[in-house]
Amino acid sequence: MQKKLSALWIAGWFPSKANPYAGNFIYRHALACSSKIDIALVHGATYFIGQEKNMPETENYPFEIIWIPIPQFQSRFLKPLNLFIYYSWFYVQLLKQVKGNNVFDILHVHAPDKCGILATWIKRKLKIKKMVLTEHWAIYNSPVPDHFLTRNWWFQFSMKQTWKHTNYAAQVSLPLHTEMQSLLGKTIPVVEFPNLVPSDFFIPTKKSKYEKFNFVHVSNFENRKNIALIFAAFSKLYAEDDAISIEFVGADELAKEFYQNQFSSQLPHSQTENQFVWKIHEKESPSTINEIFKQSHCLVMASSSENAPCVIAEALCTGLAVVTSNVGGISDMIDNSNGILFDIDVDEKTWSAYNNRNIETLYQSMKIMKQNVLSGKYQNIEIAAQSKYSASSISDKLNQLYLSIS
C-alpha cells in the first residue's frame, strides 16, 4: 500500500470571515490534495488591534488547520513594527501548537511574499528535509508597476532567501517559474501545479437564455484588468453588430457605480433579460459565476499582468472559449483550440493600457471570436480543461511529487 505522506502547508493567503475570497485557490488545492496527503495548513491572519480577530470561515475542514490571528498596528507611527510582530507571533504560536510532536515529510509554502522566509526558519526548526514552493503572484512579470525589482531591499532579500532554501517548485504556471528563476538566481526543479476548478463547473454550457451573443468578464476590477478598454472594444463591435451583449462580474459597490455612470453615457442599457446590452454585477459566489458562464459564449480578459487566472480555467471547464491578453502564464492555458491570445501594449510610464491600438486589437479579436464560436470551431473545450484542472489530476500530480522527493 502506498505511503500517505504528511505535509505542513504554510499559506500566505487563505479565505477568512473578513475576506472569503482571499486565497480561495489555495483552499481548493488543500481540499483536493488532502484526500491523498495528510495536510496541516497554517495561516497567519492579520487584524488591526482593537478590531475583531480575523477568523476562518468555518471550523469544518477535511484537513488540520492551524489558525494564527496576528495583531497589527494601524497607526502610521507604529506600522514599522508590524512585520516584526508578524514574524515573531507566527513563529512562536506555530511552534507552540505543533509542540514538537508532529513529524512532517514535506514543508510546502504557498504565496510566500510575507511568510516565505518564515518557512525557511520553520523548516530548520522542525528538521523538515524538503521544501516545495507554489507562487501565484504576477509581480515577476514585466512590465507591471509593482514589479519585484521595485520592491524594498528586505522584500527582495527575503524572497531570495526563500528561493535559496526551496528544493522543488509546484507552480501554477511554468512561465512564472522561468521569470522567478531569472530574478532569484537558482535553478529549481519544477512541476506544473494548475489552479483547481471545482466539479460544479464541469457541466456543458447552455446558450438558450439570451438571444444575443454574450461576452462575459470576471475580475476584481483592479486597474490592471482594464475594464474601460474591454468596454471600448465591445462598444466598437456593437456599433456594427447589435446582436451582442456583455456582462461584467466582480465589482465592489464603488466600482459598479463608477463604471455604470461611465458606460451609460456611451451605450443604452436595458435590464430586460433577453434584450440587455451590458450589465455590471457586484462580487458573486462561484455558483452564480458558473450560471453566468453557462448562459454566455465567450470570456473576455484584457489584463496588463496576470499569472494563471482561476477564472480562465473555470470558463474553459464549462466549455467557454476565451479572448485574452497574452501575459504571464496565460499562454499555458489558451491556444488556437480554445481561444484567442492577443498582445497588449502597456505604457511603462503611466501603466495605462487604454489606447487606440489595444482597443482595435481587442475589437478585432472579439469579432473573430464570435465568428469562430458560431461556426463551431471550438468543440469539446471542456474535455481537455476538465482533465487538466480536476481535483483528481492535480492531487495525483502533487502526491507523486511528494513521493519522489521524500
Asked whether residue 305 carries a pLDDT value surpassing 80, the answer given is yes
Distance CA 277, CA 210 (A): 11
C-alpha cell at 49: 488591534
* CATH topology agreement for domains 6-196+390-405 and 199-387: yes
Three-class secondary structure of residue 115 per DSSP: coil
Identify the CA nearest to 279 among candidates 302, 312, 309, 256: 256
Angle at CA of residue 272, ends 268 and 275, nearest 5°: 65
DSSP state string for 241-294: --SEEEEEEEE-HHHHHHHHHHHHTTS-----TTT-SEEEEES--HHHHHHHHH
Q: At the fourth CATH level, which superfamily is domain 6-196+390-405?
A: Glycogen Phosphorylase B; (3.40.50.2000)
Using alpha carbons, select from 22, 78, 21 the residue that is nearest to residue 49. Answer: 78
**Sheet of 278-282, strand order:** 278-282, 244-251, 213-218, 298-300, 321-325, 339-342
The pTM (predicted TM-score) of the whole model is 0.92
Sign of the CA dihedral 91, 93, 96, 99? negative
Tell me what the mean pLDDT of segment 337-360 comes to.
Answer: 94
- pLDDT of 238 above 90: yes
The structural domains of the chain, with segments of one domain joined by +, span 6-196+390-405, 199-387
DSSP-derived letter for residue 22 is T
Fold of 199-387: Rossmann fold (3.40.50)
256-304 per-position pLDDT tens digit: 999 999 998 887 665 554 568 999 999 888 888 988 998 899 999 999 9
